[in-house]
Amino acid sequence: MVNTNGWPGSRSPICIACEKTKTYRTRYATFTKTKPTPVSIGERRRPQPEGRPGYLRVDTVHQGDRDEVKGVYHINAVDEVTQWQVVACVPQISEAWLEPALQSMLAQFPFKIRGFHSDNGSEFINHTVAKLLKKLLVQQTKSRPRRSNDNGLVEAKNGAVIRKHMGYTHIAAAHAERVQRFYEDHLNDYLNFHRPCGQAEVLTDAKGKQRRVYRLYQTPWETYQKLPKAGSYLKAGHTLRKLEEKARAESDTEAAKRMQQAKGILFAELHPARRSA
């Protein structure tokens, strides 16, 4: 086949050369942007607890890498109204480890869980977590774009609690179970019954501008006690009397000393070289 320019085929070398020019690409080339695949899991909005406990803010904290080997992952869940906090530890972020860890964490809260809010990370925005929350009748929400404060509460607790107690030094994934036992046996109860935290008070000025002030410091348990109809939010098997007995079983100072002793034993096992030095 010969075209009108005398060249075999459908196009001449001149036409091919023209197509490579910037002018040709600008005038004749068309580009289609890749359309993002929508993820239907979780609703993009801020939770609205309306003074009711059970609306959790959840995030993960990675304990760093060493020689390209991943460390443990901490899972942090904080109730928005009372600041009741439960922390867990897993060797890696996968369905096999995450699902039982979340089940254990949700079971440790004495009140009914109504909402589960996280950022858009795939560790929480997936069908496994969605199925678990749906089974428990828990509403799942996720942070909105360009709204950095949507998950600000739990992110602040990442530093004030997890980084304060666990530090930044690498902890090998093999120690995840040992860290988890420390959380369940010591840290979580200390955080909720013996560690005061600032309770935000929203003030509105004459112009309608709101700001948060922190003048009240009390434990999450003390905050929960003051809620209207506090007993109605509890799970079956939990009563205000039992929780009060647990809180009064030891003083805040005694609980802190016991927790610190357990943490010292834990870190001696995690970092034996530091102990020998």
Closest CA to 123 of 151, 162, 90: 90
Say what the pLDDT of residue 150 is.
74
Domain that holds residue 48: 43-271
pTM for this structure?
Answer: 0.81
Spatial distance between the Cα atoms of 46 and 139, rounded to a whole number of angstroms: 12
- Mean pLDDT is lowest, of 79-93, 134-148, 163-177, 226-240, for 134-148
Asked whether residue 6 is domain-assigned, the answer is no
Give the pLDDT score at 38.
Answer: 56
Q: Considering its fold, how many domains does the chain have in total?
A: 1
Q: Within a domain: residue 129?
A: yes
Whether 136 maps to a domain, the answer reads yes
Please name the helix (run of DSSP H) or strand (run of DSSP E) that holds residue 252, with its range, or none: helix 252-270
Q: What are the C-alpha distances in Å from 83 to residues 50, 93, 109, 141, 231? A: 14, 25, 11, 18, 17
Quote the tokens at residue 250: 């030891």
Residue 29 falls inside a structural domain: no
Q: Is residue 221 part of a domain?
A: yes
Report pLDDT for 145. 77
CA neighbor of 64 nearest in space, from 175, 168, 177, 180: 168
- Does residue 5 lie within any of the structural domains? no
What is the predicted pLDDT for the residue at 215?
85
The pLDDT confidence band at residue 225, using thresholds 50, 70 and 90, is: very high
- CATH number, domain of 49, equals 3.30.420.10
202 assigned to some structural domain: yes
The string of pLDDT tens digits covering residues 1-52 is: 445 455 555 555 555 555 556 665 566 555 555 555 555 677 888 888 999 9
Has residue 16 been placed in a domain?
no
Return the pLDDT at 108. Answer: 97
Mean pLDDT along residues 230-243 = 96
